[in-house]
Amino acid sequence: MVTVVLMHSPFLGPSSMRPLADELAAAGVAVLLVDLRMTVNEAPVHQRLIGAFADALEDSGVTGPLVLAGHSGAGPLLPGFADALETEVAGLVFLDSDLPTPGRSWRETVDPALVGQVKATVRDGKLPRWDRWFDTDPLRLVPAELREEMRDEAPEVPWEFLKEQRPVVEWAGPCGYVLLSGVYEDAAAEAEKLGWPVERVESHHLAAATSPSAVAAALKAVVSRL
């Protein structure tokens, strides 16, 4: 049986993916939700993230094959996560995220206006929690109890993380894409051009927390086609 390994965004915590993990488990899917929070507190973040992920998988005792599913900022790092494992990886699924940009940093891949906006919020070398990046609180979409848990988990990530080059890793295996919000439509369209299976859920970026049944169905559909 394939195990689906869920990775939350580096700017959030595992509670943002726990409803999805629970939904998959209830549907009989073997699933592992990895907690990566402690790895993003200091640079070099990419190196710490990937090393801790590999250690967590080894400690979990999960055997292959695996499908790695990364939400948001975890998506572009999926090839690096896969490369760090000795366990067989059968495929990668990008969950409302950008596609990999090996050797390029976050700030090289986004609108310079956004870079300037985010950089202006840096204090003592750290970014504010993700929910404070925006004029409108993105966590307003999440029910109150889960919202506070997600807010408490959100780390203050070093600004250096957004300047670090992403790992240069080639991945030639199967990939798929699950789109949750219009923000990443271009990434989903590119995935389709590449011939990947793509599923769309008409929702928002945090749908794994608020609409887990719909996201689980889309994720299962993609995994079945990898």
Q: Where are the beta strands (DSSP E) in 131-209?
A: 175-179, 198-200
Answer yes or no: is 172 within a domain.
yes
For the chain, how many structural domains are there in total?
1
Note the pLDDT of residue 113. Answer: 84
Note the pLDDT of residue 179. Answer: 98
Answer yes or no: is 202 within a domain.
yes
pLDDT in tens, 19-45: 999 999 999 999 999 998 877 777 788
Decide: 78 and 94 in contact? Cβ < 8 Å: yes
- Which domain covers residue 189, as residue numbers? 3-101+168-225
d(CA 144, CA 142): 6
Answer yes or no: is 130 within a domain.
no
Q: Which of 78, 83, 50 is nearest to 176 (CA)?
A: 78
Answer yes or no: is 114 within a domain.
no
Note the pLDDT of residue 75. Answer: 95
Whose tokens are 């993003």? That residue is 40
Token output for 89: 């990886």
Note the pLDDT of residue 44. Answer: 85
Q: Which of 209, 201, 113, 117 is nearest to 154 (CA)?
A: 209
pLDDT in tens, 96-115: 999 999 888 888 888 888 88
The CATH number of the domain where 195 resides is what? 3.40.50.1820
Token output for 6: 């869920």
Below-50 pLDDT ranges, the chain: none
Cis peptide before 155 (omega within 30 of 0): no
Answer yes or no: is 155 within a domain.
no
What is this structure's pTM?
0.94
Answer yes or no: is 129 within a domain.
no
Answer yes or no: is 190 within a domain.
yes
Answer yes or no: is 115 within a domain.
no
